[in-house]
């Protein structure tokens, strides 16, 4: 199956179009070696390393991909599109704007954007993307989301490590959906048979910029912090809601992408905060880890407000700024250990 890659900052790219086009939508997440060297020639180092690592991977691996789409999320997407255009070798590079807002005007516009992208794909690849194919793609997508929802729920009751959860999500976003479905089913059987949630672990909510490597999840594991809820794109944002099936498939896709759990790149920002607070109240979360990758401004702006709201409901929170490296900063480890100590103090 042919692979079609995409770069979006927080789950903005309507991958169902690619599924309908009988290609594998592959979310670019950077390579395992944390490399950004090639991209650093074109993008200043004080721009988030996630985006730089995506460009790096694209420069190295674009020949494996039939085409690439960049969907607007934050400044990195629209501003870097032109750099990709100059330095990434590909036959097909496409930009799609996912609106900031969710109102009817935005939805109407997004329907137009999706239609335009379908036309561009049809014309370039000499294919036809029918409504029927789109409907089937939605069905597949929803099946995957339901499986992920069920898996995600097991995090609260079973012993499922942070990186196992992350790896499942990453696999889902980078592999052909035909392969993903049986994979998730087998994981479900495995996870259902797991031991109960370990008593020495603290259930936490994880929020902030997207984490693209399992290393960070392992670090949390090491200090006994277990991520049981999150609102990351390589996480709950991807599967928390299902694609509606009541209208025509294009409208349904548009509606879905505008109504997923919000990220800081969107307007307004309150629904994001509400999602976190609701999860904290529902799941008896011990604490919240708010983290940003250095220079991720959109999430940085929301940090003081998020912290203040968590203080109101008396949920402990720690905010961390992380570098993009395989060598975890000792200071961060120390701060996390101190946070765990705080959680362990009698309330």
Partner 1 sequence: MNTTNTSTPSTRKIVRMLKSSKKISKLIPWYMLKAKINEYIPWKKSAWITSSLPVELLWGFDIFPLHPENNACVSGARKVSLDLIEYAESLGFCRDVCSYMKTNVGAYDKKISIKMGGIAKPDFVVTAGTICDTHVKWFQTQARRMNVPIYVFDVPHIVNHTSESTKKRYKDYVISQIYDFFDFMEDTIGKKMNEKKMLKTWENSRSLSDLWQKIYEYRKKIPTPVGYADTLGDIFPLVLLPGIKKGIKYFEDLLKEVEDYVALGKGILPKEEEKYRLMFEGIPMWYRIKFFHQLMNYGAIVTYEPYTFSFGPSRPYVDNLEDGLKVMADRMMYQPYIYNLSDRIAYFKDIIENYQIDGVLLHENMSCRPSCTGMYDLKQKIQQDLGIPVLLFTCDMNDPRAYAEEQMQTRIESFIEVLEQSKSKRLNS
- For residue 268, cis peptide bond before it (omega within 30 degrees of 0): yes
Residue 7 phi/psi, 5-degree rounding, is -120, 115
Among 151-159, 168-176, 201-209, 289-297, the segment contacting partner 1 (CB under 8 A): 289-297
Of 129 and 169, nearer to ligand SF4 (C-beta) is 169
Query: Binding-site residue total for ligand SF4 (CB under 6 A)?
Result: 14
Binding mask 19-48 for ligand SF4 (x = CB under 6 A): -----------------------------x
Answer whether 207's CB lies under 8 Å from 231's CB. Answer: yes
**Gap between the Cα atoms of 31 and 47, Å rounded:** 18
Residue placing its CB nearer to ligand SF4 in the complex, 50 or 142? 50
Question: Phi and psi for 169 in degrees, rounded to 5?
Answer: -65, -45
What does the alpha-carbon distance between residue 184 and residue 181 come to, in Å, rounded to a whole number?
5
Q: How far apart are CA 262 and CA 327, in angstroms?
A: 31
Tell the smallest beta-carbon distance from residue 300 to ligand SF4 (Å): 9
Contact between 50 and ligand SF4 by CB under 6 A: the answer reads: yes
Tokens of residue 217, six digits: 């999840």
∠ CA 301-328-286 to the nearest 5 degrees? 60
Residue 252 in contact with ligand SF4, rule: CB under 6 A: no
From the list 72-80, 101-109, 130-138, 164-172, the region that binds ligand SF4 by CB under 6 A is 72-80
The reply to whether 151 sits near ligand SF4 by the rule CB under 6 A is no
Nearest to 9 by CA among 52, 62, 83, 72: 72
For residue 315, give the DSSP letter. Answer: -
Position among 3, 60, 83, 190 found at the interface with partner 1 (CB under 8 A): 83
Q: At what angle do helices 131-157 and 162-174 cross, to 10 degrees?
A: 170
Q: For residue 158, with 0-12 CB atoms within 10 Å meaning exposed, 13-18 middle and 19 or more buried, which class applies?
A: middle
Smallest gap from residue 33 Cβ to partner 1 (A):
23
Contact string 94-123 vs partner 1 (x = CB under 8 A): -x-x-xxx-x-xx-xx--xx--x-------
Enter the tokens of residue 156.
């609260």
Task: Check residue 137 for interaction with ligand SF4 (CB under 6 A).
Answer: no
Which positions lie near partner 1, rule CB under 8 A?
A: 41-44, 46-47, 72, 74-76, 78-83, 85-86, 95, 97, 99-101, 103, 105-106, 108-109, 112-113, 116, 264-265, 267-269, 292, 294-295, 297-298, 300-305, 307, 319, 321
Which positions lie near ligand SF4, rule CB under 6 A?
A: 9-10, 48, 50-51, 73-74, 76, 209-210, 265, 293, 296, 298
């Amino acid at each position: 199956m042919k692979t079609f890659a995409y770069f979006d900052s927080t789950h903005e790219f309507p991958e169902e179009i690619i599924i309908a086009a009988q290609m594998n939508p592959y979310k670019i997440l950077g390579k395992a070696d944390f490399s950004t060297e090639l991209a650093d020639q074109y993008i200043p180092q004080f721009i988030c390393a996630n985006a730089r690592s995506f460009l790096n991977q694209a420069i190295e691996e674009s020949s494996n991909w039939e085409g690439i789409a960049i969907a607007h999320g934050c400044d990195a997407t629209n501003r870097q599109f032109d750099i990709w255009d100059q330095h990434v070798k590909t036959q097909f590079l496409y930009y799609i704007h996912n609106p900031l807002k969710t109102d009817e005007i935005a939805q109407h516009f997004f329907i137009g954007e999706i239609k335009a992208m379908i036309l561009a794909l049809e014309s370039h690849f000499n294919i036809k993307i029918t409504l029927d194919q789109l409907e089937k793609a939605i069905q597949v997508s929803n099946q995957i989301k339901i499986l992920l929802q069920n898996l995600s729920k097991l995090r609260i009751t079973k012993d499922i490590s942070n990186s196992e959860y992350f790896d499942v999500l990453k696999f889902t976003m980078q592999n052909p959906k035909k392969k993903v479905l049986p994979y998730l089913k087998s994981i479900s059987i495995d996870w259902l048979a797991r031991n109960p949630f370990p008593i020495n672990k603290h259930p936490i909510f994880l929020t902030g910029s997207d984490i693209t490597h399992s290393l960070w999840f392992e670090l949390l594991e090491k200090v006994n912090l277990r991520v049981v809820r999150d609102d990351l794109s390589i996480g709950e944002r991807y599967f928390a809601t299902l694609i509606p099936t009541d209208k025509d498939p294009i409208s349904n896709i548009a509606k879905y992408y505008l109504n997923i759990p919000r990220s800081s790149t969107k307007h307004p920002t309150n629904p994001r905060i509400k999602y976190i607070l609701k999860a904290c109240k529902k799941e008896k979360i011990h604490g919240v880890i708010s983290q940003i990758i250095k220079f991720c401004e959109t999430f940085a702006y929301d940090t003081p407000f998020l912290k203040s709201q968590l203080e109101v409901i008396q949920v402990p929170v720690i905010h961390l700024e992380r570098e993009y490296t395989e060598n975890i900063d000792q200071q961060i480890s120390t701060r996390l250990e101190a946070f765990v100590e705080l959680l362990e103090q009698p309330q």
